[in-house]
Structure 1
Amino acid sequence: MPVPFQGGCRCGAVRYEVTAEPIAVVDCHCRDCQYSSGTGFATIVLVPRPAFRQLSGTTQGHTVTADSGNKVTRHFCPTCGTPLFGENETKPGVLAIKAASLDDPSALKVMAAIFTKSAQPWSHLDPALPAFVGMPPAPPPKG
């Protein structure tokens, strides 16, 4: 993924920039990602928190308790509702950006499927990807 890369919401009120390569890109099938994406999974781009800079707008956050017991806050545009990024209380140095909010998500390469125990039977799991029933013990290797 070429850096820096940018993204934002559908209405343009919120814009951000990331100045580092992704740590990992995963398809997350947990129920929370299903709710926040409105479909069977969310493609998540994990980036170092210090490399993220919000350029404009403000977001609204909604905090939930994940299956792990950790608090996760998902941020979205309060005007158009576009899901943008999330934060996990146990990983303060990492931000989870929703891939669809990138200006050009076509360069992403998904590295793994996670929380497949919650995958819907109608949701496609790419057999070429490593799959984890929950959170992997460490981020999948870059590839």
Structure 2
Amino acid sequence: MSDADQHSGGCQCGAVRYRTTGAPAKTAVCHCRYCQLRTGSAFGVSVYFPEDAVTLEQGTLTDYAFQTESGRTFTTRFCPRCGTSVLWTIGLFPGMIGVAGGTFDPPSFWYDVKREVFTRSKAPFVELCIADSSETSSAYAPIGPDPAHRNGAR
């Protein structure tokens, strides 16, 4: 495998470092409330790899897990020192790890983003040029409502 097939990245403070090997299995810009809360921004850039293609090379991550309204587990993995959300797993994609797109070392955005999901909660100021766009996701199947605090209630 060539060096071009490997990409490194990490958290803001440098305590956590990872390496990916090979091409991503999936990439997307996601406008769901989970990604908005995970990133503190209008959307998340999700780059998914098979579990065995992501290696934590330095540091430790803290996990925060919750259940989505579809009844699946979402586990965010972040640096306990600076709080950067680096990796995550979701029950929708077993055997895959999501990598926060902006945490790759420069050139940070070396991958192609081919899909945009959960545009129903897209911020009105966001305009992206992505042809494959959907209001939810092909696997979206809620079994109950989201907790009120994720939708602005106190």
CA–CA distance in structure 1, aligned partners of residues 47 and 21 of structure 2 = 13
TM-score normalised according to structure 2 size: 0.81
Q: Please tell me whether residue 120 in structure 1 is matched to residue 123 in structure 2.
A: yes
Look at both structures and tell me which one has the larger radius of gyration over its CA atoms: 2
- Amino acid in the other structure paired with 2:81: T
Once the two structures are TM-superposed, the CA of residue 127 in structure 1 deviates from its matched residue by 4.1
| Structural mapping, 1:1-143, within 5 Å | 2-104=4-106, 105-122=108-125, 124-136=126-138
TM-score normalised according to structure 1 size: 0.87
Confirm or deny: 8 A CA contact 1:113 1:125 kept in the other structure.
no
User: How many residue pairs were aligned?
Assistant: 135
CA–CA distance in structure 1, aligned partners of residues 68 and 38 of structure 2 = 13
Q: Percent identity?
A: 30
Mark the runs of 5 or more structure 2 residues left unpaired by the alignment. 140-154
Structure 1 stretch displaced more, 10-19 or 128-137: 128-137
Once the two structures are TM-superposed, the CA of residue 90 in structure 1 deviates from its matched residue by 4.2
CA–CA distance in structure 1, aligned partners of residues 10 and 128 of structure 2 = 27
Q: 1:120-143 CA deviation, whole Å, 9 max, x = no partner?
A: 223x14244211122235xxxxxx
Mark the runs of 5 or more structure 1 residues left unpaired by the alignment. 138-143
- Amino acid in the other structure paired with 2:131: L
Confirm or deny: 8 A CA contact 1:114 1:136 kept in the other structure.
no
